[in-house]
Amino acid sequence: MATYNFTVTQVAVPFVAEYQKNLPLIVNSNKQLDKEFKSGTGSTMTVTIPDYPTVQTGATAVPDNYASGDRQITLIHNNVSTDSNAVVRALDIKNFDEQIAKPYGARLASHIQERAADELKLNADTHVIINDSSEFKNLGTAIATIKKARSYGKLVGVLDNELNQTIASAGITFFNPSAQISDMFKESRIGMYGGAEFFESPDVTSLVTGDLVDTGADAVVDGTLSDGATSITFDGTNLTGTIKKGQVFTVAGCKVVDIYGNALSQDYSFVAQADATAVANSITVTIKPVTTVKPSQNVSALPVDGAAVTLVHEANSTYQAGVIYDTQGFIHGNAKFAPISNMEQKEMKVAKALSITTSKGADPINFKEIVRWDNLSAELLVRTNWAAVVWYKV
């Protein structure tokens, strides 16, 4: 006999349990906006980056004009649902929790987790290539750059499952104290490394690069960028092909900065925000805004005309990914929905912050009963210099 006759609470509990299980990246984020996002307050809020002063020498004070930096976060409404009719309820659905609630919860969790990972991959200032599975120096470089940018929160890394396995297999002795070695061998847990706690998730997806090449090997910036620029053009003597969204390149003279605008040793990573195609030996790529204005400064200097461009990823290649970030600089905004009349609803919290609303209502015209799960949330990497992406070519 089918077990479709349930209460909203019975459905919400297994769904939310599955949702939380699949969100290590979201659970490890800054959720301070949750208490501000409430039904009826709109879906967009401003996140303020505090200004910092200029240190003066001597007795004379030269007051700064305080000017904070603002970033916008807009919540996104996602849902999954089922509209099984009376025949299906009677004959096909034997266990609603196992057949629908849990897998539907996992799918919604996966979608939100992948979106969060993409926010980090597209906006992190530091991108590092791991060239060899036994070479952990570059992984340490990514972590050290975040620390040098003066991050002060908990550091977390989330790796593609295959990359996690590669690292666990090749560098087991680099991670955790010996007392935890057993779990590392049995479950491929790499745990702590360089002050960051690592997790794994299939939602940190791989990158398949385009076929952009410059056989002249002399790509240079075409035109000096202005502050706040969101695109960059570079030329080559024989530049052909495409660059895919998520691919990275560096520009000579442009470095990552700390929260006070001081240049670090790591090259600033320009990340393609959309696919682009070279035309007549020139390509224009959409990038996140670059600025040298405090407190939102994210690069030591703007690209200048003629500066050399270096592609970080090789053409026609697949790279597994991992994201590392300071949880204080990565915000997850979340809100609960206002109730809808004539529907049975239950709002539940995951990890004391993530709000999932389960709703059940009849559709008598079509002889159906609809169940849906809704979430209203978004992610924002506020401190782009407090995040790094590691890539491993396969």
Instruction: Give the pLDDT band (50/70/90) at residue 139.
Output: confident
Instruction: Give the pLDDT band (50/70/90) at residue 17.
Output: confident
d(CA 109, CA 203): 9
Confidence (pLDDT) at 94: 62
| Domain-wise residue ranges, the chain | 8-53+71-120+331-384, 210-316
Instruction: Give the pLDDT band (50/70/90) at residue 92.
Output: low
Instruction: Give the model confidence (pLDDT) of 216-252 as tens digits.
Output: 778 999 999 999 999 999 999 889 999 999 999 999 9
Say if residue 147's pLDDT is above 50: yes
d(CA 315, CA 317): 6
* Non-local CB neighbours of 77 within 8 Å, separated by 6+ positions: 374, 375, 376
Contact at 8 Å (CB) between 47 and 25? no
Percent of the chain with pLDDT over 70: 85
- DSSP bridge pairs for 361: 370
| CATH code of domain 210-316 | 2.40.30
- For residue 250, what is the enclosing H or E element? strand 248-251
Confidence (pLDDT) at 2: 45
C-alpha to C-alpha distances, 174 to 56, 82, 116, 236, nearest whole angstrom: 44, 47, 28, 42
Say if residue 121's pLDDT is above 80: yes
d(CA 173, CA 62): 53
Say if residue 256's pLDDT is above 80: yes
Q: What is the DSSP letter of 225?
A: P
Instruction: Give the model confidence (pLDDT) of 263-285 as tens digits.
Output: 999 999 999 999 999 999 999 99
- With CA atoms as reference, report the closest residue to 86 among 5, 12, 7: 5
Confidence (pLDDT) at 34: 65
pTM (2 decimals)?
0.86
C-alpha to C-alpha distances, 62 to 292, 294, 295, nearest whole angstrom: 21, 17, 18
Confidence (pLDDT) at 286: 98
Confidence (pLDDT) at 186: 39
Confidence (pLDDT) at 276: 98
Mean pLDDT of all residues in 72-99:
71
| Pairwise pLDDT comparison (246 vs 348), residue with the higher score | 246
Confidence (pLDDT) at 222: 96
Please report how many Cα atoms fall inside a 13 Å half-sphere around the Cα of residue 390, on the Cβ side: 30
Say if residue 33's pLDDT is above 90: no
